[in-house]
């Protein structure tokens, strides 16, 4: 069955700097099709050579930094003095280390584990690591302290300098890494031989476009909670999971996951499944399983995701359960989309939502975290060229971006473990899910980047639904927002911005962990903690730092706290009435390559 696409009003096309040429969206409002195509083809080809990073964006950042540094003699003198001081400190450290009593060393950042092994504390490796850390410190000062450089360009130059330094860190080289040398002596060089075979296999997979095999298969090892597919369209399958209790809460729960990930991050192995946890506590759970788009899905828009995804699912849930309202939960991009849908529903008098939960979901993109390094007009235009040519954002492009954000953990440390130390992969359900990546349609991702990231249209009440703007201040249902402490995708302070943008009761919870592991936090997981506090409508605004200082720290998983909040808004317990579906969960969309 063919599903019609949402048409974009001409005024909105002009506002967003886009046009439709020959039935396809192009990011060039003035150029002809021929000129636009030539530009796009050139930029798409260039993207393959640069790792999809815009040379123009990098050049602009470097020029901004270099020209302001050139016009700042005081800064140049200060950097020169700091370089001399760093050299003196390094020489003094080396002299003292030779006599067996090294001076106080410069400590790496807490998350930097490259030199944590005791072997780095001996001569001459302690001198090597200290030299690298001092150089790293100097370059951070050189790139981040130049007066007059725009904050975005400062971040970009600092990031690029860090990437270049990380690539030449002594831990990456056999002769400079005592841990690798020791492993080579013990194994007789077998670690290097096996690493060479692994590197060749990775190179072959990269050239052929094939990724590593997924260890945990949906429906076999993960996504095994019993459920049914109750609806399907060209964009999503709607899965229903009946409560595993004799009586169930009257009000069902709809979960909207991000389309950048497969839904089963919330239904991993049974001990890590949020879906299983909820059904065991008497909730009927619906969740969207997004289609992994192909080239012919290029024209699916963000509005299609709202209409064919969220709104279609809400209609089906209400129809099937007979409930007057439902609770809704959105994760990451799914939370942003749910917030758009909730604002549009509130504007139009649609009262089918009883509450809204946002799991690491942003509605204000003024401080979107490290992803903003890759998002400005130049970079988005460059990325659009690649998406225009192939019809979607490829999984390898997204994976490369996230790997750069955590290059020590995901690139250099991995190469050290695999190629030099011959250590096995860390296999678990979350790592396997992370390797099961998805694509994003060209038009939708362009909409998302330009309207939300660049223009911040939702937070500024300029985002259009059905040709009219929506405002989060119209949302008056209770909100539960979860931020994760070390999130580099949706920083918790950015997630916290839901408080001043809405005129309703907001319960904010901050949990330990990152964007994924912080959300997948079942009871019994060691080392987990969270803070929680409710902000009522009549309370004065509390800034995030004050909130974190004053909110009580609690040990354990945050899941019970949310389930308790949810249960109070899920209506009375009624007899269970299992539904009949059209197929068994996890459905077919999650299995499609």
Which of 111-135 are b and which e, b meaning 16 or more Cβ less than 10 Å from the residue's Cβ? ebebbeeeebeeeebbbbbbbbbbb
Q: Is 332 a catalytic residue?
A: yes
Q: Which of 235, 326, 329, 332 is catalytic?
A: 332
Domain residue limits, the chain? 228-366+456-591
- Three-point CA angle 408, 411, 417, nearest 5°: 90
* Inter-CA distances, 169 with 416, 472, 541, Å: 11, 47, 45
51, with CB counted inside 10 A (0-12, 13-18, 19+), is exposed
Residue range 228-366+456-591 in CATH 3.40.50.10800: no
pLDDT at 243: 95
Beta-carbon contacts of 48 under 8 Å, excluding residues fewer than 6 positions away, are: 386
Based on its alpha-carbon atoms, the radius of gyration of the chain, rounded to whole angstroms, reads 26
The pair of three-digit structure tokens given for residue 442, joined into one six-digit string? 């060209």
| Per-residue pLDDT at 213 | 61
pTM for the full model? 0.87
pLDDT given for residue 405 in this prediction: 59
Cis peptide before 586 (omega within 30 of 0): yes
In sequence order, which residues have a C-beta less than 8 Å from that of residue 467 and are 6 or more positions away? 9, 12
Query: pLDDT tens per residue, the chain (593 residues)?
Result: 333 333 334 444 444 444 333 344 444 443 333 445 777 777 777 777 777 788 888 999 999 999 999 999 999 999 999 999 999 999 999 988 887 777 788 888 877 889 999 999 988 999 999 999 999 999 999 999 899 999 999 999 998 899 899 989 999 999 999 999 999 999 999 999 999 998 888 888 777 766 666 678 999 999 999 999 999 999 999 999 999 999 999 999 999 999 988 999 999 999 999 999 999 999 999 999 999 999 999 999 999 999 999 999 999 999 999 999 999 999 999 999 999 999 999 999 999 999 999 999 999 999 887 777 778 888 888 888 878 878 888 776 666 565 555 656 657 777 888 889 988 877 789 888 888 888 889 999 999 999 999 999 999 999 999 999 999 999 999 999 999 999 988 999 999 999 999 999 999 999 999 999 999 999 999 999 999 999 999 999 999 999 999 999 999 999 999 999 999 999 999 998 888 899 999 999 999 88
441 in Cβ contact with 300 (< 8 Å): yes
């Amino acid at each position: 069955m063919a599903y019609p696409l949402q048409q974009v009003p001409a005024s909105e096309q002009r506002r967003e700097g886009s046009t439709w040429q020959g039935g396809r969206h192009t990011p060039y409002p003035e150029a002809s099709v021929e000129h636009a195509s030539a530009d796009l083809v050139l930029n798409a080809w260039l993207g393959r050579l640069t790792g999809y990073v815009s040379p123009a964006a990098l050049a602009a950042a470097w020029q901004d930094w270099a020209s302001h540094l050139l016009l700042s003699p005081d800064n140049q003198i200060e950097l020169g003095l700091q370089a001399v001081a760093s050299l003196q400190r390094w020489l003094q450290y080396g002299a003292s280390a030779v006599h067996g009593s090294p001076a106080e060393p410069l400590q790496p950042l807490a998350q930097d584990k490259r030199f944590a092994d005791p072997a780095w504390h001996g001569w001459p490796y302690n001198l090597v690591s200290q030299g690298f850390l001092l150089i790293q410190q100097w370059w951070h000062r050189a790139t981040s302290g130049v007066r007059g450089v725009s904050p975005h360009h400062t971040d970009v130059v600092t990031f690029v300098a860090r990437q270049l330094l990380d690539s030449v860190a002594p831990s990456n080289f056999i002769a400079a890494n005592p841990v690798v040398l020791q492993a080579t002596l013990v194994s007789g060089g077998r670690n290097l031989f096996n690493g060479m075979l692994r590197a060749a296999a990775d190179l072959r997979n990269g050239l052929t476009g094939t990724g590593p095999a997924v260890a945990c298969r949906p429906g076999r090892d993960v996504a095994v909670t019993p459920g049914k597919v109750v609806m399907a369209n060209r964009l999503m399958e709607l899965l229903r999971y009946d409560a595993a209790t004799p009586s169930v809460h009257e009000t069902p729960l709809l979960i909207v996951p991000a389309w950048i990930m497969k839904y089963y991050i919330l239904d991993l192995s049974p001990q890590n499944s949020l879906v299983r946890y909820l059904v065991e506590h008497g909730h009927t759970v619906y969740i969207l399983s997004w289609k992994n788009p192909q080239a012919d899905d290029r024209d699916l828009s963000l509005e299609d995701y709202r209409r064919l995804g969220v709104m279609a699912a809400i209609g089906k849930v209400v129809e099937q359960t007979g409930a007057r309202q439902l609770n809704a939960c959105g994760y990451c991009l799914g939370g942003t989309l749910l917030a758009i849908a909730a604002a549009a529903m509130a504007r139009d008098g649609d009262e089918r939502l009883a509450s809204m939960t946002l799991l690491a979901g942003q509605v204000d993109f003024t401080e979107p975290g490290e992803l903003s390094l890759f998002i400005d007009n130049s970079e988005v235009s460059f990325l659009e060229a690649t998406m225009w040519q192939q019809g979607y954002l490829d999984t390898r492009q997204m994976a490369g971006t996230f790997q750069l954000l955590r290059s020590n953990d995901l690139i250099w440390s991995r190469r050290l473990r695999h190629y030099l130390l011959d250590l096995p992969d860390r296999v678990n359900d979350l790592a396997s899910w992370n390797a099961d990546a998805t694509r994003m349609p060209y038009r939708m991702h362009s909409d998302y980047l330009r309207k939300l990231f660049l223009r911040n249209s939702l937070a500024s009440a300029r985002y259009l639904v059905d040709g009219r703007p929506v405002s989060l201040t119209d949302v008056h249902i209770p909100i539960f927002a979860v931020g994760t402490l070390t999130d580099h995708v949706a920083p918790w302070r950015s997630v916290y911005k839901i408080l001043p943008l809405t005129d309703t009761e907001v319960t904010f919870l901050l949990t330990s962990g990152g964007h994924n592991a912080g959300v997948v936090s079942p009871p019994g997981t060691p080392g987990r903690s969270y803070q929680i506090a409710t902000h009522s409508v009549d309370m004065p605004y509390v800034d995030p730092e004050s909130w974190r200082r004053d909110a009580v720290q609690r040990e354990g998983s945050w899941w019970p706290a949310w389930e308790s909040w949810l249960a109070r808004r899920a209506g009375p317990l009624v007899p269970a009435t299992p539904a009949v579906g059209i197929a068994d969960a996890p459905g077919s969309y999650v299995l499609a390559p």
